[in-house]
Amino acid sequence: MNRLISLPLAACLALAAPAMAAQSSAYPNKPIRLVVPFPPGGGTDLVSRVMQPALSAELGQQILIDNRGGAQGTLGTAIAATANPDGYTVVISEIGATAVAPALMPKLSFDVAKDFVGISQLIEQPYIMTVHPSVQAKTLAEFIKLAQSKPNSMNFGSGNVTAHVAQEAFFQAAKIKLTHIPYRGSGPSVAAAVGGEVQTLFSGPGAAIPQIKSGKLRGLAVTTAKRTPQLPELPTLAESGFKGFAISGWYGLMGPVKMPKEAVTVLNKAVTKVLNGETGKLLRDRGYEPVPTTPAEFDKFTREEIARWSKAVKEYNIQPDF
């Protein structure tokens, strides 16, 4: 009797074995490392940590955030470029390290277009022009007049190359001169502005809005074509007399170019679902606009941004000083 029962059981186990093996090897079956190429406290870190819980739940695996700041975001990006392309190391692609830095740093160890595959764009954001409360300017026009009267008497900070290039372009348009002081990320640059080390800077909403609302910094304008809902009182630079001046920051998710298509597809679906849900609302509350895309759309967008910023750096003759 026992023998008769055991034969069907053995047969069932034999049939189930391939399905069980397939299930155990399905992506992802272990934690995923998310390289954030900036220190804690900045926008890339904030967006990553807001998304982390929902993305982990959606994928059924932990998302391990690995902050690797340095060299304007290119250090962490380079680490991801040479990581094992098994789908278990991905990186936040930020406009500066991805599109602007290649124009300023031609000897980078990676080529974004060749070494990475896009997974999805994540968010768009404004840059917010702020000043320390000690600066005797309540409006953008007053700031420009003050700066024109005292060339190079004020410092401006930047936590990434995009903010640096955007400010240089704006200062040229406004015919003012300030001294640049670079920092390792948005968090440190905003801390420097709050502490009075620099008098002004362009910064993303995650780092800037809390300081503006607390009165530790004063907002003057936003760089996007439209005003930001979180600070509706701040005019755009275009509204303030600089017609056509519009710059949006963005973040995305990408991985080493040879990572499996299955991993790209699974991650893209998870990111899209998370950004279209409650996490997307949380990001909007902090000044970020979720903009999930397909992998192909993000690859195309990235290449267009690289070309755009290469042209801008040449047009404004901006030289790296970091």
CB 62 within 8 A of CB 31: yes
pLDDT of residue 28: 98
Confidence class for position 187, pLDDT limits 50, 70, 90 = confident
pLDDT of residue 41: 84
305 Cβ neighbours under 8 A, 6+ residues apart:
95, 98, 99, 250
Confidence class for position 98, pLDDT limits 50, 70, 90 = very high
Read off the pLDDT of each residue in 223-252 and give the average, rounded to a whole number.
Answer: 95
Average pLDDT of the chain is: 91
> Higher model confidence: residue 185 or residue 36?
36
pLDDT at residue 55 is higher than 50: yes
pLDDT of residue 22: 43
CA 15 – CA 1 distance, rounded (Å): 22
For tokens 């023998």, the residue is 3
pLDDT at residue 137 is higher than 50: yes
Phi-psi region of 249 (alpha: psi -120 to 50; beta: other; left: phi over 0): beta
pLDDT of residue 20: 45
Read off the pLDDT of each residue in 85-94 and give the average, rounded to a whole number.
Answer: 97
pLDDT of residue 8: 54
Q: Where do the structural domains in the chain lie, given as residue ranges?
A: 29-124+248-315, 128-222
Domains 29-124+248-315 and 128-222 share a fold: yes
**Structure-token pair, residue 56:** 């982990």
Confidence class for position 16, pLDDT limits 50, 70, 90 = low
pLDDT of residue 159: 85
pLDDT at residue 234 is higher than 70: yes
| pLDDT single digits (tens) 282-315 | 999 999 999 999 999 999 999 999 999 999 888 8
Per the CATH hierarchy, to which homologous superfamily does domain 29-124+248-315 belong?
A: Bordetella uptake gene, domain 1 (3.40.190.150)
Q: Which of 197-201, 230-234, 280-284, 311-315 has the lowest mean pLDDT?
A: 311-315
CA 168 – CA 156 distance, rounded (Å): 10
For tokens 């362009």, the residue is 202
Which CATH architecture does the domain made up of 128-222 adopt? 3-Layer(aba) Sandwich (3.40)
| pLDDT single digits (tens) 239-291 | 999 999 999 999 999 999 999 999 999 999 999 999 999 999 999 999 999 99
pLDDT of residue 42: 87
Read off the pLDDT of each residue in 213-234 and give the average, rounded to a whole number.
Answer: 96
pLDDT at residue 64 is higher than 80: yes
Read off the pLDDT of each residue in 43-57 and give the average, rounded to a whole number.
Answer: 97
pLDDT at residue 132 is higher than 80: yes
pLDDT of residue 322: 60
Read off the pLDDT of each residue in 109-120 and give the average, rounded to a whole number.
Answer: 96
pLDDT of residue 139: 97
pLDDT at residue 7 is higher than 50: no
pLDDT of residue 184: 83
pLDDT of residue 19: 46
**In b/e form, how buried is each residue of 78-115, taking b as 16+ CB within 10 angstroms?**
bbbbebebebbbbbbbbbbbbbbbbbbbeebebebeeb
Read off the pLDDT of each residue in 62-85 and give the average, rounded to a whole number.
Answer: 95
